[in-house]
Amino acid sequence: MTSRETLLEMGFDPRVVDRALEHSDELGAAIDWIENHPDSADAEESVQVQPAVAPEEQAPTESRPVEERLAELQAKAAKRRKEAEMQDAEERRRNEEISRKNQQQARDAKRDLEVKQAQKQAAQRRKEALEDKLYKEQLRKQIEQDKRERLAKAGKLDTSPPPPAAAAVPAPKPVVTGDVRVRIKYEDQTITKTFGQEFTVAQLGDAVGEEFGLSQFVLTTTYPALSIDPQGDTRTLREAQLANANIVVKLA
């Protein structure tokens, strides 16, 4: 059996064997070269454990040294393979740990974002509820004030004594006086109108439509915050809280 056949039978990669035999075709010298160049051309990965070569297959003068060297090379290769496997396992463990940490961080970030969004939504709902409460309170106070003003004016007129000269004649029916003035704005046009006490919202709507050439629109005010469709609204301007108001006309 040739030196090449012996080395191949022992499990060495053909590339390693050929490179070793380029330096010497003698088996012992080739083994020395492989032993001194463990990292050459996958030398350490190419060695496989093989059954010991029968002594009679080797030259008598080389059998023991060759077997010892081959066994030593195989042991070194096995040790290096084991170390490489351990390194690979440790690398996989580290990668898995990093992956778990990244996944946990992603879950934590998602949970934090959901909590912040829920808190923001709750704060917005509280703000809207407070604004609605304040608006209703302001509206209630405005209605009460208008009611008190109407009652005060009606009571004053009802309790006034009749003129002495007309004592035998029924007193004339009191006439409620006082005009309602409103400021009306549509786009870049602004006008000021004065109407009677009994002037209704529907009549105001007719006047606005005629003034600006509109048919479908709403009357809005900032304070109190109102949006009124004037069509068919029979309330007086005071009842609708439009007395002395700044009205903005918006298309419906």
Query: What is the distance between the alpha carbons of residues 238 and 245, in angstroms, rounded to a whole number?
Result: 10
Q: What is the CATH number of domain 180-251?
A: 3.10.20.90
Looking at residue 45, its pLDDT comes to 45
pTM as predicted? 0.31
* pLDDT tops 50 at residue 174: no
Structure-block tokens of residue 224? 């109190």
State mean pLDDT over 209-232: 91
State mean pLDDT over 169-196: 75
| Per-residue pLDDT reduced to its tens digit, 122-155 | 999 999 899 889 989 988 999 999 999 988 888 7
What are the DSSP calls for 175-192, one per residue? -----EEEEEEETTEEEE
* pLDDT tops 60 at residue 52: no
* pLDDT tops 90 at residue 165: no
Residues 215 and 226 sit within 8 Å (Cβ to Cβ)? no
* pLDDT tops 80 at residue 180: yes
pLDDT level of residue 166 (50, 70, 90 thresholds): low
Q: Which one has a higher pLDDT value, 173 or 78?
A: 78
Give the residue extent of every domain in the chain: 3-83, 180-251
Query: What is the distance between the alpha carbons of residues 17 and 32, in angstroms, rounded to a whole number?
Result: 12
Query: What is the distance between the alpha carbons of residues 250 and 238, in angstroms, rounded to a whole number?
Result: 21
State mean pLDDT over 84-102: 93
* pLDDT tops 90 at residue 96: yes
Distant-in-sequence, close-in-space partners of 71: CB < 8 Å, separation ≥ 6: none
Looking at residue 62, its pLDDT comes to 45
Find the radius of gyration of the CA atoms of the chain: 53
Looking at residue 106, its pLDDT comes to 94
